Structure 1
């Protein structure tokens, strides 16, 4: 059954196979599936625990004032690094088993305040994005002086110039531990974007 499915559709994903088998009445366990997780040192664990304890009693209203931000890369032709085909060794040249690649096939975007980026983002571009998008967004959302800005520990975010810019604009910054799980709500948006852009099998 599985062999027939992947022979007919070589680009079938593991998730597609699981769903297909469920439809025909076979339950597949994912217990043995490997999962990639960040390498955590004891210092990371302690920082994560401290963050959780520090914010354990924060009221819901406090989180409503947090402006979450993140950048991500969207592959225009699917995620090349995770695309696979099922084939036999002798079928490597079959066009159905080949995945074409393209250069410049992705868009880099920065969000909470969706902003398309041309080229690589450096510190200067990051400051420009904050000025053009963060400030107007805060005004439009009427968050006021209590606004708290969240970004991760990317070097562009932690640079002295960035900290100074945020200080001059009177932004509080949510201290974000290194190697922290993806608790940023905007990760849900990125997932939907990438799923909608992934090639259909």
Structure 2
């Protein structure tokens, strides 16, 4: 045995585990065509302190281009929202200037992005979003009802079941491996735009196709944490 850092995961109560188990049992036999009209959405915060490695020559440790300037009183970060679909992806949206409340979620994401996308996908469109307070607020639920957009009843504390979480990891790895590491918020934003657009659609397809494995592992864990 060796001392290792513990993994970090969401708090799962007995209620959470029961809901996760019920959801995965219901969807474990869904095939690729069942997930075809589903848009998986979520947001992730990328910080400059996320950058853990860079390419440099020996003796260049203190070169200005190889130093991430860290202000302990200001965490420089970019909150990014996106959605993935078997055949496409939404454009990446930066959630700037404060927290995401229900009105902002409706006006910046549901109305300008989700509604046109649902119309393009056509009948059977299903939205995957977590149960954060802005999304389940009455103003957002009313908007979805008025526009006829159906959302999957997603269990709480289940980001590990959403394949877009794996895509955020892919983006982080791409940013960490940049030859020129982002040092400002604008550079981090530009890097996100670049890698979001460059990720092959086949990668997204394979992530969504792995949903049966997500479900099966959650079932084996009795609704507990999975390695995803």
Report whether the alignment pairs 1:185 with 2:156.
no
Q: Deviations over 1:5-39 (max 9, x none)?
A: xxxxxxxxxxxxxxxxxxxxxxxx98945222222
- Across the aligned residues of Structure 1 and Structure 2, the Cα RMSD in angstroms comes to 2.9
CA distance in 1, matches of 2:79, 2:12: 27
Q: Under a length normalisation based on structure 1, what TM-score does the superposition of the two structures give?
A: 0.67
Could you tell me which residue of structure 2 aligns to residue 4 of structure 1? none
Q: Under a length normalisation based on structure 2, what TM-score does the superposition of the two structures give?
A: 0.60
CA distance in 1, matches of 2:127, 2:8: 28
**Which residue, 112, 125, 128 being the options, matches 2:104?**
125
Shift in Å at residue 67 of structure 1?
Answer: 0.8
Report whether the alignment pairs 1:111 with 2:111.
no
Could you tell me which residue of structure 1 aligns to residue 15 of structure 2? 43
CA distance in 2, matches of 1:47, 1:171: 23
Secondary structure in structure 1 of the residue aligned to 2:81? strand
Show structure 2 runs of 5+ residues with no match: 53-61, 84-89, 182-228
Shift in Å at residue 199 of structure 1?
Answer: 7.4
Pair 118,124 (structure 1): closer, same or farther in 2 beyond 3 Å: same
CA distance in 2, matches of 1:147, 1:153: 19
User: Looking at CA atoms only, which structure, 1 or 2, has the larger radius of gyration?
Assistant: 1
Report whether the alignment pairs 1:160 with 2:129.
no
Q: Deviations over 1:125-172 (max 9, x none)?
A: 110121111122234xx4212100110010001101111101111111
Pair 199,100 (structure 1): closer, same or farther in 2 beyond 3 Å: farther
Show structure 1 runs of 5+ residues with no match: 1-28, 84-94
**Count of equivalent residues:** 157
The runs of 4+ residues in structure 1 deviating greater than 6 Å are none
CA distance in 2, matches of 1:37, 1:155: 19
Could you tell me which residue of structure 2 aligns to residue 17 of structure 1? none
The residue correspondences of 1:1-16 to structure 2 (distance < 5 A) are none
The farther-off stretch of 183-192 and 166-175 is 183-192
The farther-off stretch of 61-70 and 51-60 is 51-60
Shift in Å at residue 186 of structure 1?
Answer: 1.2
Asked if 1 retains the 8 angstrom alpha-carbon contact of 2:78 and 2:94, the reply is yes
Task: Say which structure, 1 or 2, has more relative contact order (CA 8 Å, 6+ apart).
Answer: 2
Pair 145,104 (structure 1): closer, same or farther in 2 beyond 3 Å: same
**Which residue, 30, 33, 36 being the options, matches 1:64?**
36
Asked if 2 retains the 8 angstrom alpha-carbon contact of 1:153 and 1:178, the reply is yes
Pair 198,79 (structure 1): closer, same or farther in 2 beyond 3 Å: same
Shift in Å at residue 74 of structure 1?
Answer: 1.4
Shift in Å at residue 60 of structure 1?
Answer: 2.3
